[in-house]
A and B are shown apart, each in its own frame.
Chain A
Amino acid sequence: MITAGIDCGAKTVKVVILKDDKVIGKAIIPAGIDTKKASEEAFEEALKEAGIKKEDIDKIVATGAGRADQPFTKDSVTEVSADAKGINFLYPNVHTVIDVGAEESRAIRVDGKGMVMDFAVNEKCAAGSGAFIEAMARALEVTVEEIGPLSLQYKQEIAMNAQCAVFAESELVTLVHQQTPKPDMARAIHAGISDRIVSMARRAGLEPDIAVIGGVAKNPGFIDCLNKDLNTKVIVPDDPEFVGALGAAIAAKEI
């Protein structure tokens, strides 16, 4: 059986094509201002990689904030459901999955079968998402890809008081005036968002093993802070941003 999952996120659209429990194609395209167009592009690319045609797919399920904007299917699952199924498929020993995306983040506690036990969501505040890191990277004049590794070179731990991305930017300006080294500021930024994510995750319950997915999981600075705050080593799957789409593809098998 061939199924596909499409995750329409705030920043990117992800597609995963699954054949008999094996991922045969995937693609990630920036959502831009036209989610419909982006999802069509992502689908095209994933099909090419899989070497199949759209007609070969038995079922498609969508997820993500923009799931109503894609033209392929009317079947959808919530991001919470998709994440739970996706992580359970990859790591059945994981009981807490933390998904940090571009504009939203969530923490989900699952049982051994991928059923959702409890969850917490942060969706209206930029400070608990990738948007925060993006804004801070801009303020420090580095790229989003650079800021993570940069933070690992910190010498001193400084605390940032601001909880809001807008205020944090002003706080950064003050730190720059005081000639704080960039790695230290980068570290403080990651420590701040990690603290917020952990606060949110506690609400859902932190049961090991803990996995982190979503685009921000690719940031080594963020993962390092999380490990420190959670006093453990979190599991980061390969291609962490695709777990949602993978979960949707798995949900498609169950329809």
Chain B
Amino acid sequence: MIANYGYKDGSGDWFISIDTDKCAKCEDKPCVEACPRDMFYVFTDDWDDEVVGVVEEKRKKVKFECMPCTKLEVRPCVKACKPGAITFSF
């Protein structure tokens, strides 16, 4: 399942997409530590898979929280994710 966290407002689309099928296969979830803004957390979803999601308090601030990492070559979370489950809309 592709879970899209974030929002769309007048200034554009600001979504982080997590492929939960890929994410569930990963054991240690290094993306959580790799993120300098503490955007992620691990939880058990409605289908009893252990997956990563975007922290509720940060979900509506994706644009501003993730902007600094946009300037880097590769975002730390994308780099850390071995199955390649994380993608960004911006």
Question: Which residues on A are within 8 Å of B, measured CB to CB?
Answer: 122-125, 163, 199-200, 202-203
Contacts and interface: CB of A to CB of B under 8 A. Distances in A.
11 contacts: A123-B10, A124-B9, A125-B9, A125-B10, A125-B11, A163-B60, A199-B65, A200-B64, A202-B68, A203-B67, A203-B68
A123 B64 contact: no
A204 to B, nearest CB: 10
B25 interface: no
A124 B64 contact: no
3 pairs of A and B residues whose beta carbons are closest in the complex: A124-B10, A199-B64, A163-B60
A163 B58 CA distance: 12
Nearest to A122: B11
Determine the main DSSP class of B at the interface with A. mixed
Nearest to A202: B64
B11 A123 contact: yes
A111 to B, nearest CB: 19
Contacts of A123: 10-11
B67 to A, nearest CB: 5
Contacts of B9: 124-125
B61 interface: yes
Contacts of B11: 122-125
Nearest to B9: A125
Contacts of B61: 199
Given A124-B10, A199-B65, 13 more contacts: A123-B10, A124-B11, A125-B9, A125-B10, A125-B11, A163-B60, A199-B61, A199-B64, A200-B64, A202-B68, A203-B64, A203-B67, A203-B68
Contacts of A122: 11
A105 to B, nearest CB: 12
Contacts of B68: 202-203
B1 to A, nearest CB: 25
A161 to B, nearest CB: 9
Nearest to A195: B61
Contacts of B67: 203
Interface string B49-89: 00000000000110011011000000000000000000000
A203 B10 CA distance: 17
Nearest to A162: B60
B37 to A, nearest CB: 10
A97 B68 CA distance: 19
A199 B9 CA distance: 15
Contacts of B65: 199
